[in-house]
Amino acid sequence: MFIVDLLAAAADAAAPQNKFGFAEALEQGGFIAYATVIILGVMSFGSFFILFTKWIEQSKVLKQYNELKAAFWKAPDLKTGAAKLDKNSAWRQVVDDGLAAEEAHGKMTDALEAHDWLHGSLARSEANINSRLATGLPFLATVGATSPFIGLFGTVVGIYRALIAIGIAGSASIDKVAGPVGEALIMTALGLLVAVPAVLAYNYLQARNKRIAELLSGFSTDVLANINSKGAVKPAVTAAPAAAAKPAAPAAKA
């Protein structure tokens, strides 16, 4: 039994150790490999952080719009309707800016100038809201465009190390080039792993921003028409569908 244990221990000691794992590849790559992984990790964390925070912000704006359609235009005037909206709502900002422009347009001597003033004020309000919704998207675009090249930089360094190992050894043996080449492939995979989610998140959030911009434009047009008509023009508010009337009972036979 003792001899069997000695043989097993000797076999374990003689077995080749795995020197081609992820940690081993980073150790072989040194400072450049660690720096590349850290940069890609920061980019990935920032991309997912922006994705979730902007998605929550956009969902809040869309939810406020659904509540707006049900209650705002039923109010007798814009001030009363604005009081029903959240103070930090994008839709409340459009209404407040429109009312502020209406108060200031009394200084305009020409009616056409007053209309242009109101239209420009609401357009600036829309642009301000759209600009806030677009914050963070340039970072996603930057990550999607640059992270593959950062991974490629790590790949180039790994291949360079493999060539140096081949030159020193005098032959392209697998044990000399497997580590640096594995490091190069890992850096390429990490660059793509960071870039693909960033590009998908950018396109998804951009599409939702376009939808919100369309809703803001329509709402701004309705507010402008309401102000210029002194409250006479309002969009049609869809009422809840009435219950279908039951069919009349057939007349009794004589």
Give me the pLDDT at residue 35, please: 84
188 inside domain = yes
Q: What domain range is 221 assigned to?
A: 24-228
Structure tokens at 138: 């340039």
78 inside domain = yes
75 inside domain = yes
* One-letter identity of residue 46: G
The 3-class secondary structure across 102-126, one letter per residue, is: HHHHHHCCCHHHHHHHHHHHHHHHH
197 inside domain = yes
Q: Which residue has the tokens 């030159």?
A: 167
101 inside domain = yes
CA 29/CA 178 separation, integer angstroms: 13
pLDDT in tens, 40-93: 899 999 999 999 999 999 999 998 888 887 778 888 888 888 888 888 888 888
Total number of domains constituting the chain:
1
230: left (phi over 0), alpha (psi -120 to 50) or beta: left
191 inside domain = yes
Q: Going from the first residue of the chain to its last (254 residues), give the mean pLDDT of each consecutive group of 10, the final group possibly shorter.
A: 46 48 64 83 93 93 84 83 84 87 72 72 89 92 91 80 72 64 78 92 94 90 83 65 48 44
CA 127/CA 133 separation, integer angstroms: 10
The residues, any chain, with a CB within 8 Å of residue 209's CB and separated by 6 or more, are 58, 130, 133, 134, 137
90 inside domain = yes
pLDDT in tens, 67-80: 887 778 888 888 88
Give me the pLDDT at residue 236, please: 67
The answer to whether 155 touches 185, Cβ cutoff 8 Å, is yes
238 inside domain = no
Give me the pLDDT at residue 24, please: 64
Give me the pLDDT at residue 3, please: 47
The residues, any chain, with a CB within 8 Å of residue 198's CB and separated by 6 or more, are 43, 44, 47, 140, 141, 143, 144, 147
